[in-house]
Amino acid sequence: MKNIFCQLFQVYSWLIIIPVSWLITALFAFLTITFSLLVNSKWTNKWIAPWWGKLIILITFCRVKIIDKHNVEIGQSYIVVCNHQSLYDILTIYGYLPVEIKWVMKKELEKMPFVGIACKTLGHIFVDRRNSDKARQSLIDAKDDVSGGVSAFFFPEGSRSLDGELTHFKKGAFRMAKTLGLPILPITISGANKVMPTKSLKICPHEISLTIHQPITAEIVTTETINALSIRTKSIIASAL
């Protein structure tokens, strides 16, 4: 019955979700740029941008369940590390993670229609993954933006998992955590790949869980190696999958 419903749902997806999502994206890109200029990017990032994710999830008829929200300390900056299952991860994080973030994203997204210029206006961090020296320098240059309760956000897998299982973690997030002496906040998203699988345009409503784990303290970050932090963080994220 679930499969039949999802097949029928594709009609609604193609007629409503996909075109309306692009309209919402274009509208919020315009609002983001406008309010960043009229007010400031910090206010826009907190009060305008999250509604982009919430509205698209709303028209998809998905429910987001936030688990252990109390693990976030208001005013604390983190290096936020999350698994990557689906495009709906991005919507979920933007709409529902109770942390002000600067995304660390691949430089290719800078050219994406609407999204690239909006992200640039908000001060998100673009990294050239083809050049490790430039990528490392981009993270060093961004250190002043990650303070006062603003966190850096990473998908350390780099790209979406094909089967929902964790893939290899790149080291940039953990290197930045050690450089800045900030705690790591592990996040697990589960169910987003049921809404929209990787490399597919098929969309079907499903509950998405957003689990906020206890932070890895700054003391542990400063004493453990980058490799050990990567293994520890990956294990924590995997525990909620």
Asked if 188 and 240 touch (Cβ cutoff 8 Å), the reply is yes
Asked if 212 and 151 touch (Cβ cutoff 8 Å), the reply is no
Give the count of domains, the chain: 1
CATH of the domain at 97: 3.40.1130.10
Residue numbers of the domain that contains 193: 2-238
- Check whether 1 has a pLDDT greater than 70: no
Diameter of the chain by CA atoms?
53
Using one digit for the tens of pLDDT, what is the confidence trace for 30-67? 999 999 999 988 899 889 989 999 999 999 999 999 99
* Cα(89)–Cα(79) distance, integer angstroms: 17
Using one digit for the tens of pLDDT, what is the confidence trace for 181-216? 999 999 999 999 999 998 888 999 999 999 999 999
Q: What is the pTM of this model?
A: 0.91
The residue whose two tokens read 């999802």 is: 6
Using one digit for the tens of pLDDT, what is the confidence trace for 142-171? 777 888 899 999 999 987 877 778 999 999
What are the CB-based long-range contacts (under 8 Å, 24+) for 57-62?
57/88, 57/91, 57/92, 57/95, 57/208, 59/16, 59/17, 59/20, 59/21, 60/17, 60/88, 60/195, 60/203, 60/205, 61/205, 62/88, 62/195, 62/205, 62/206, 62/207, 62/208
Asked if 42 and 48 touch (Cβ cutoff 8 Å), the reply is no
